[in-house]
Structures are given as C-alpha cells and as structure tokens.
A and B are shown apart, each in its own frame.
Chain A
Amino acid sequence: MTARRSIQGQLITAVIVSQLLLAGGLAALSMYSLRRQLRTAFDAGLQGRSMSIAALVRYSEDEPSKLMFDGELAPRPLDAKHPDAYKVYSSDGKFSAQSPNWKERFDRQTPRQFWHVTIGGTSYRAVRMAALPVLDSEGAGTPAPPTLTVIYAAPTEEMDELYASAGLYLGIGSLVLLAVTAGLALWGIRRGLFPLQALANSAASVSPVNWELQVSEEAQTTAELGPLTQAMTSMLRSLQKAFTQQREFLTNAAHELKTPVAILKSTLQSLLHRPRRSEEYRAGIEKALEDMARLEKLLHSMLRLARAEQWAMGNLQRDLPEIELGTTCQSAMERLQPFADMRGVKLEFANNGPVRMRADTEDLELVWANLLENAVRYSPAGETVRITVTNDEAGARVAVEDRGPGIPKEEVAKIFDRFHRGDQSRTRDTGGYGLGLAIANAIVETYGGTICVEATGEEGTTMAVRFSRKPLADSC
C-alpha cells in the first residue's frame, strides 16, 4: 500500500514551518537590536569613564608646567576580578599615566574609536578618546596647553551574559508560543475538516434506493466544499438517470417478452390439449415456429436498442469509415421495397448532391429502414413515400414523407419512447413491438444528430433527421 497523503498533516506542517520561520526571524531581529542597544550603552559608559580619567590629570603645584595624575580618585572597577585598564598621556609626550593592570596589548593600533581585545581569556572593549583638554585651570597661563588622550578598556563579560540570557528567554518564549499556536492550528484544522467528514458520511448513505445526497448545513456553508458537493450532486443525477433508464429498460423488456411467450405457449398448449392428426401437429409446429420468429425479432430489436443507447450515452468514439448518406438511403429503400410492394405503396428517393459523413453504414440503413417501414405502414395503398436528402450550410437533413393519416397530437411526444405503440401499429397485421423509432432515435443520437416529427396532419407526416455542422439550438 502506498503511503497516503494527509491534508491535515500537510496543513499542520505548513503552519509549524511558517511559525518557526517567523519566530526565528523575530528572534534574530530582537537579538540584533538588543546587541546594538547594549553596545551603545556600554560605549557611552566607556566614554564617560575615559572622561573622568582625563579629569584626574592636573598641573603640579611645584612645577606649574608639569602634569600629574591622581590615580586614587580613579573610578572603582565594576568587576573586582577583571578591573578596567586605562592609560592617559599628553599630546606633547611629557606626561603619561596608567592603571596598574595596564598592558600595551590593550592599545590596538587602529583608526577606529572602539575595539575588542582579549587578554588572559577575558574579553575587553576599549575606547580611544583623543584631544581631551586638561581641566585644571592652574596651567591656564601657559601658551597652547597640551591635550590628553585616554585609552580605556573594560571587560564585556557582564554585557555578554546579559545578552546570552536575553537570547535564552527569547528562545524559550518563542518555543512555548510555537507549541501553543501549533496546538491551536491542529484543533482549528481538525474542526475545519469536520464538514468533509460529514459530507463523506452523507455520500456513504447514497444507494440505488436513495439517490439524494443529504448535504449537511455545515458542508453547505463551507466555501471550499461547494465545487465538490456540486460535482457530486450532478454526478449522482447522471448516474441515477442512467441507472433508472437501465432498470426501466429491463422492466420493459421483461414485460414485453411476456406476450410473445404467452402466444408461443398458448399455441403449443392448444396443439396438445386433444389428440390430433399428424398434419394438424405439423401445422401447429409451424405456427409455433412463427411465434418463435416473432420472439426472436423482439429479442434482436431489444439488443440493438440497448447497444445504440449505450453508444449514445457513452459518446463512444468508434473508428468509422466515411460514407455517402444518399447511398445508405437507397440501400434502406431496397430493403423495404418488398414490404412497400405488398402494401401497394411507391417509394421515391431524391437528393441535391452527395453528403459525406463518418458513420457505420449498417446503423444509418437501419434508421432509414425503420422510418420508411413506419411511413409505408401508415400509407394508404397507391400513395408514395418520399425519402429526401438535402445538404446546406447548416448541415445534412434526411426527410421521410408519407401521405398517411398523421400522428395524433398527444402521441407525437411519445413516438420515440421505447415500446410505445401507436394504435394503428398494434393492429393485427403489423406485429411491431414499438422499438423501431426508439432504435432510430438512439442511433441518430450516437452520431450527434436529432430526429423529430417535422410536420403531421391529415395530409401526411414528415419525419426528419438532421446532422448539423454546428451545434444548433433545438431544430425541431
């Protein structure tokens, strides 16, 4: 079994990944800004201390031009283990003082004002403050008093610790938030998928007995499920139609078979109900064979109809040869000629040029033969039945005209129904089973054509089949 994709899993993964990205980005930004702020504050502190170191430089009372440094007044170190280190010297090079822990390595020869240096495993940040004036006013008399340069370094351990713990809190906070929102997302998604489950349940309750898809209100009001429920409903509708059609066909067929079977049975039983002479038995068996032939014809027609309807419904693409429409009409006419002769009806054919289309010859011949048979059956003796092929921009049209009594209004809509029999066709001599026009209809549909009663009245009936080039609005 292949692993199944879970929409829920995918959604949750997407949510968690995007939250992780968001949290990571936010944390990085906050850490960066925190670091900048801490540095700025630290640097300001460094600068302040440098200034206060410079303030401790004053002129000697004995030699007014000599500078001295009062180291005892220097600010007390914040970190006893790693005290700050500093050095102060004058621009004229005559004066220089430093803290006891000063090492030349603190001073990095760099044009930058601030720098980092690591000494004895401790990292320091240092500042160079140049051109600071000597604040002592006693030496004010001397021309161009020298300026002072202070280099001050302080350990950054405290700042680093602060920074690290801030990072830790931020990380833990983000993770907790992430867990909470992921849980919320999981719950929300589960809840959001409820209507899908409800829809699945209602789909499961659909059966050949109950075709109605009961869409719950939740599923109805869920926008994402709209296309799905619509597709399901329309699929069910077409399935139901096909199913009902099949079942109807089966019922009709079984029902229609009863009569010929009853006839055959009655023929055999009436033959058997008393002793007979051998000629009578012979005649009886011949009758039974005739009944059998009718039964066979009905079975054949039903199968033909079932096949045509299947094609029409399935829109089957068959590999079809190109044929000429008029030729199929003429073949059908030849087939019907003996029947027409028997009824004393003339057959006529006319066309306005060849029409070629892709079709099965046998199919089309059957359509024309069924239409012609019908027309001949209703025509009074001596009349003519015409079959005409016309071809224009709109498409091809084959019309069969008779001079019969016309079809009653209420019958017109029903004549293409299976097993429908007009009154006349059920009289003694016709023996039709009401399948001919249904078969013709189904075959024409297979080829994307339409069949209809174009005109009917006392002067006769015109049945027409159209194969349009462009899909037309109902041409009937």
Chain B
Amino acid sequence: MRVLIIEDEVRLAENIAEVLRESGGYAVDIVFDGEEGLYMAESNPYDLILLDLMLPRMDGITVLQKLRGGDMDVPVLVLTARDEKEMIVTVLNAGADDYVTKPFDLGELLARAKALIRRGKGQRSPVLRVGDIEINTADHSVRRAGTLVSLLGMEYRVLEYMAHRPNTVVSKTELLEHLYDFNWERFSNVIEVYISGLRRKLDEGGSEKLIQTLRGQGYMIKR
C-alpha cells in the first residue's frame, strides 16, 4: 500500500511516515506544500492520502476539492489543528473520508489509516479471506488452513495488495507503484523474488497453487 503525506511540518510528517512504514508496512511519500501534494496525488496511484489543512501555496481544502473534482476517489484522511464543528463539516463536505485533530495519537492515526485503506478496497472487516487463506490486516498475520504462515514484510504487502483484488490481473508495474515510494529503488525482479517466496511458503502442504502467473500481464489470485 502506498500512502502520500501532505504536511508542511517536516518533523511531524517524518514521524508519521516512520510509523506507517514500520507498523503498517506502507510505502510513504512526503510532500511539504499543497501544490506539490496535488501534483503527486494526481500522478501516482495512492491507496491513502494524509492531508494537512494549513499548507503553503495551496491550502488543504483546495487540494481536496481539486482531487475530488478530478474524479480521484483515493481515501483522504485530514490532519487538522482546528476542531470546530464548522471546520469539520467543511472538511467532510469537501470530500474527506475521515479526520484527526492535532495533537493526535499515532496509534489511532495508523488504525484509521488502515480502516480507510480497507474501505477504499470495499472491505469492512480487517480480515481478508481468499480461498483457505486468512490475512489479518490489523496485525499482519497470515494463515493457510488455520496454520500460521511467517512472511517477510514485503511478501506480506504483495499478498495483501493482491488479496484486495482477487480474480484480477495485477501487473508488476502496479505492484511497484503501490508498494514503493519514490525513495526506494525500483527493480522489477524484486517483485519476482517476493512472489516466489510467497509461493514457497503458502503452497507448502496446500493442494492448489495460490498465485497464478499470466505471462506478459502479471499475477492473479483466484478466489
């Protein structure tokens, strides 16, 4: 999952990013002003945007309105220091999915972020089920036929992303775009390494092959 943070307070943005990366296993990009934030949001497929309201060059509400006006339905979580009712109504009416008021709790922010990503994929329960595989998005545990399977962080992220889209072909590029931020190197064979790792760990003892490769197109998980 890839998250964009639009927040001009550097330290705050970095702290949020750290927790999202370490606890949520998300790829995180940070921008410090509204204009750049809008540009980034429009040109990359994010799974969630964390948006501050008081931003240089373009305020958060405007960014939000432009995003929604441009038919972008990415979930947006607003970070605001203002907690007056009018402000919250404005924020929600402008198209925000949720908000937290500063000073917020990073644990709460993470939980809300996860919930928004889930809902963004049309799923309400934190547990994803594909065949006999159970993926708990809250604690990142994976079970196959009730047996706990231990996965690497990136392996889990590839699996979660694909499990959100069962019966859909997911290309390598799409996976890269969603799992890596701009700070990370992009090598397409990294994905192949994680896919083979996943196959090895999940298909062990299973009757059916979970991940199918469609040559030249990508990968698919069948329900």
Is A245 an interface position by the 8 A CB rule?
Answer: no
Q: Once the chains are docked, how many angstroms separate the CA of A267 from the CA of B12?
A: 7
Question: Do A261 and B56 have beta carbons less than 8 Å apart?
Answer: no
Which residues of B lie under 8 Å from residue A259 when comparing CB positions?
Answer: 9, 12, 81, 102
Measured in the bound complex, the distance between the Cα atoms of B32 and A379 in whole Å is 21
Contacts of A421 in B (CB 8 A): 56
Given contacts A265-B103, A426-B56, contact A291 B11 (CB under 8 A): yes
A427 in the interface, Cβ–Cβ < 8 Å? yes
Q: Is the CB of B22 within 8 A of A428?
A: no
A262: chain B residues at CB < 8 Å are 9, 12, 81, 102-104
Q: Return chain A residues, CB-CB under 8 Å to B16.
A: 266, 270
Would you call B107 and A261 a contact (CB within 8 A)? no
Is A263 on the interface with B (CB-CB < 8 A)? yes
The contact string, 1 if C-beta is below 8 Å from chain B, for chain A 239-272, is 0000000000000000100110111111101100
**A94 CB-CB contact with B under 8 Å:** no
- Contact check: which of A264, A269, A424 meets B105 at CB < 8 Å? A269
Q: Tell me whether A270 and B15 are in contact (CB under 8 A).
A: yes
- The smallest beta-carbon distance between B17 and chain A, in angstroms, is 9
Q: Are B56 and A269 in contact (CB under 8 A)?
A: no
- B58 nearest CB neighbor, chain A only: A423
> Does B106 touch A at the CB level, under 8 Å?
yes
Complex CA–CA separation, A300 to B124 (angstroms): 47
Whole-angstrom CA separation of A273 from B19 in the bound complex: 7
Q: Which residues of A contact B97 (CB under 8 A)?
A: none
Instruction: Report A27-48 CB contacts with B as 1/0, cut-off 8 Å.
Output: 0000000000000000000000
Choose among A258, A273, A291, A428 the residue that contacts B81 (Cβ–Cβ < 8 A). A258
A420 to chain B, nearest CB (A): 12
Cβ contact within 8 Å between B11 and A427 = no
* Number of B residues, CB within 8 Å of A: 24
Contacts of B106 in A (CB 8 A): 265-266, 269-270, 273
Measured between beta carbons, the chain B residues less than 8 angstroms from A266 are 11-12, 15-16, 103-104, 106
Distance (whole angstroms) from the CB of A281 to the closest CB of chain B: 14
Q: Count CB-based A-B contacts (< 8 Å).
A: 70
Q: Taking the nearest CB of chain B, how far is it from the CB of A468, in angstroms?
A: 37
Instruction: Give bound CA distance, A262 to B22, whole Å.
Output: 20
Partner of A270, one of B19, B33, B102: B19
Q: Are A261 and B18 in contact (CB under 8 A)?
A: no
> What per-residue 1/0 map shows which CB atoms of B27-42 lie under 8 Å from chain A?
0000011000000000
Q: Hey, what's the 0/1 contact readout for B1-33 against A, CB within 8 Å counting as 1?
A: 000000011111001101100110000000011
Task: With both chains docked as a complex, state the minimum distance between the C-beta of A4 and any C-beta of chain B, in angstroms.
Answer: 47
Q: Does A76 contact B (CB under 8 A)?
A: no
Q: Which residue of A lies closest to B55 (CB)?
A: A426
Smallest CB separation, A384 vs chain B (Å)? 27
- Closest residue of chain B to A256, judged by CB? B81
Give the one of B10, B11, B103 with max A CB within 10 A: B11
Tell yes or no: B85 within 8 A of A by CB: no
Task: Return chain B residues, CB-CB under 8 Å to A426.
Answer: 8, 56
- From known contacts A258-B81, A263-B9, infer whether A423 and B57 are also in contact, taking CB-CB under 8 Å: yes
A269 & B15 in contact (Cβ 8 Å cutoff): yes
What are 14 A-B interface contacts by the 8 Å CB criterion?
A258-B81, A258-B101, A259-B81, A262-B103, A265-B106, A266-B104, A267-B11, A269-B105, A269-B107, A270-B15, A273-B19, A290-B11, A423-B56, A426-B56
Taking Cβ atoms with an 8 Å cutoff, the residues of B that contact A are: 8-12, 15-16, 18-19, 22-23, 32-33, 56-57, 81-82, 101-107
- Apart from A258-B81, A259-B81: 13 A-B pairs, beta carbons within 8 A: A262-B102, A263-B12, A265-B104, A265-B105, A266-B16, A267-B11, A267-B15, A269-B15, A274-B22, A274-B23, A421-B56, A423-B33, A427-B33
Binding site for B on A (CB under 8 A): 255, 258-259, 261-267, 269-270, 273-274, 287, 290-291, 421, 423-424, 426-428
Please give me the 4 A-B residue pairs with the lowest Cβ-Cβ distance, nearest first.
A262-B103, A262-B102, A266-B15, A269-B106
